[in-house]
Amino acid sequence: MKQARTIQKDDIVNPRKRKSITVSILGCDRTGLTIACLLANSGFRVFCIDSDPSIIDLVGKGKVPFAEPDLEPLLRKNVEKERLSATTDIKEPTSNSNIILLSVSSMIDEGGRYDYSNIEKVTKEFGLNLQTDTLVISNGNLGPGMTETLIKETLEMASGLRAGDDFGLAHCLIRIVPGQGLQDAIRNPKVFGAVDRKSSELARAFLSTITKGELIELSSTKTAEAVRLFASVYNEVNTALANQLARFCEKAGIDFIEARDAANMQPHCQLSLPGIVGKQDSENSYVLIEEAEALKIKLRTVKLAKKINEDIMKQVFYLVRDAVRSCGRPARRARVLVLGASGQPNLKEIDGSFVKDLVELLSSKGLIVKVYDPLFSRRELSEFGYPVERTLTKSVKGTDCLLVAVGHDRFKRLNLGRIKLLMRNPPSIVDMSSIIDPVEVEKRGFVYRGLGRGVWTR
């Protein structure tokens, strides 16, 4: 390959000119690969770079290494047209790229703090080969200020170049939900900030080629980094409020879902469903708390929200215990079938799943737990460490309680009459996904419990 040439805004926005522009995507995670496919489809020459050979092998064959059904046809098309390639080599592609998107995720240590060692390592590697006039865009989970400190300083030290003078530097927020990543990347607003005016203009032009959503330019990369954390904290606090109101509804004899749906029709109200907070949002909340403490500020609301949400798993156990006892049997040694193992409803994706922690908690309380998920094979669930049976019929037989953990559509269509015959009598259902109708379940002879569904009668 030839050394990357200097690019201007018009080179990016002009479909014919952008065919000569090379982009390196560092990190084939869900966000990185989604953006890579959209860029290649827009005409750029794209290299996907990852240190995991198994991921590179799949991507090189046009296969997506995670559950994202809509993405694979786009990936396969662009691999076949040779607009997208995958490699573990970081040196050659980045040294010949006009644009480098750093989509490497930071890690969370045991203390709930970001570990940036992986990002620093990758940044140093491509920084050693960084060419003049390259635009670098960071996209991972970063604390406010990390693009202008860690990434900028590492690149400048490794390359001998200066950000803003010799190369461009920006940060963008591309937030996608598993299962709908392609549509999120296309439609959702994109927030970005840059270290200078030229970097900002190039970043805006670059993002405009892959999105139909609004482009929101902020005054700095630090502010852009804060937006991701603020969005996560909002979800954390909103879920904590829903979890507290759900607990109130259970005691007050109110159906939280009915009240929530009506409340959300009122102006300026958008209550979440009760439940477990997503892994990424939970981790980002920890990061913001750490950043605040470094500034000697206590985010009391965020800390309290985390405590409330961390306790919701215990509340699920209490509901299971109460349901089994209401059937006239002791909770200890009760047989519980957990329905669902994935991280998202209707998606074969284990990443982000809370079910492992739930199973461990129930087992530690003396319950006998099995797991069933129609999206995974028996072998796959066993490899995750779950106790499983071959079929739903065998899984249900002899159980005391069904615990609906993940709201797959298939679970909405359970044959309750047949299931009742297989379970111990009287049977019970605990719903933590808000997909089961309490009235219908009780009519079928089940003892029912559900997060916030305080309308059970038995």
Q: How confident is the model at residue 11 (pLDDT cuts 50, 70, 90)?
A: very high
**Measured distance CA(317)–CA(312) in Å, rounded:** 9
pLDDT in tens, 365-396: 999 999 999 999 999 999 999 999 989 999 99
pLDDT, residue 329, reads 95
- Statement: residue 2 has pLDDT above 60: no
Tokens of 282: 């939970």
CA dist list (Å): 12 to 79, 110, 406:
21, 42, 43
The residues facing 431 across adjacent strands are 404, 450
- Statement: residue 1 has pLDDT above 50: no
Report CA torsion sign: 181, 185, 187, 193: positive
pLDDT in tens, 311-335: 999 999 999 999 999 999 999 999 9
Q: How confident is the model at residue 180 (pLDDT cuts 50, 70, 90)?
A: confident
pLDDT, residue 152, reads 97
Q: How many helices (H) and strands (E) does the chain have?
A: 20, 15
Decide yes or no: CATH 3.90.470.20 for domain 229-310. no
The position carrying tokens 């982009």 is: 23
* Residue 453: DSSP 8-state: B
**Count of CB atoms within 10 A of residue 128's CB?**
16
pLDDT, residue 125, reads 96
Average pLDDT of the residues in 122-149:
93
* 312-450 CATH, one of 3.40.50.2000, 3.40.720.10, 3.40.50.720, 1.10.760.10: 3.40.50.720
- Statement: residue 142 has pLDDT above 90: no
pLDDT in tens, 402-447: 999 999 999 999 999 999 999 999 999 999 999 999 999 999 999 9
Average pLDDT of the residues in 342-356:
90
Domain ranges of the chain: 9-219, 229-310, 312-450
Rounded to the nearest 10 degrees, the angle between the axes of helix 279-294 and helix 221-252 is: 120
**Measured distance CA(121)–CA(110) in Å, rounded:** 20
Average pLDDT of the residues in 290-308:
92
Least-confidence region, from 139-148, 161-170, 266-275? 139-148
Single-letter residue type at 294: A
**Measured distance CA(57)–CA(4) in Å, rounded:** 26
**Measured distance CA(20)–CA(18) in Å, rounded:** 5
pLDDT, residue 279, reads 78
**Measured distance CA(362)–CA(401) in Å, rounded:** 12
- Statement: residue 176 has pLDDT above 60: yes
**Count of CB atoms within 10 A of residue 39's CB?**
24
Residues near 324 by Cβ (< 8 Å), separated by ≥ 6?
Answer: 330, 331, 334, 400, 401, 428
**Measured distance CA(212)–CA(231) in Å, rounded:** 21
**Measured distance CA(337)–CA(49) in Å, rounded:** 41
Annotate 306-320 with DSSP letters as a single string.
HHHHHTHHHHHHHHH
CA dist list (Å): 285 to 12, 125, 227, 278:
36, 30, 12, 11
Task: Please answer whether residues 340 and 406 qualify as being in contact, where contact means their C-beta atoms are separated by less than 8 angstroms.
Answer: yes
Tokens of 142: 């970063």
Residue 404: alpha-carbon gap to chain centroid: 21
Task: Please answer whether residues 33 and 25 qualify as being in contact, where contact means their C-beta atoms are separated by less than 8 angstroms.
Answer: yes
* Residue 139: DSSP 8-state: -
Percent of the chain surpassing pLDDT 90: 83
Task: Please answer whether residues 137 and 166 qualify as being in contact, where contact means their C-beta atoms are separated by less than 8 angstroms.
Answer: no
Residues near 314 by Cβ (< 8 Å), separated by ≥ 6?
Answer: 361
**Measured distance CA(246)–CA(249) in Å, rounded:** 5
- Statement: residue 204 has pLDDT above 90: yes
**Measured distance CA(452)–CA(242) in Å, rounded:** 9
Fold of 9-219: Rossmann fold (3.40.50)
Tokens of 62: 């046009």
Q: How confident is the model at residue 184 (pLDDT cuts 50, 70, 90)?
A: confident
CA dist list (Å): 182 to 71, 80, 171, 187:
6, 19, 20, 9
The position carrying tokens 């985390």 is: 306
Task: Please answer whether residues 84 and 56 qualify as being in contact, where contact means their C-beta atoms are separated by less than 8 angstroms.
Answer: no
Question: pTM for this structure?
Answer: 0.90
pLDDT, residue 3, reads 54
* Residue 365: DSSP 8-state: T
Single-letter residue type at 199: S
Per-state percent for the chain, helix, strand, coil, to nearest 5: 45, 15, 40
Task: Please answer whether residues 241 and 274 qualify as being in contact, where contact means their C-beta atoms are separated by less than 8 angstroms.
Answer: no
Work out the mean pLDDT of the chain and round it to a whole number. 93
Domains 9-219 and 229-310 share a fold: no
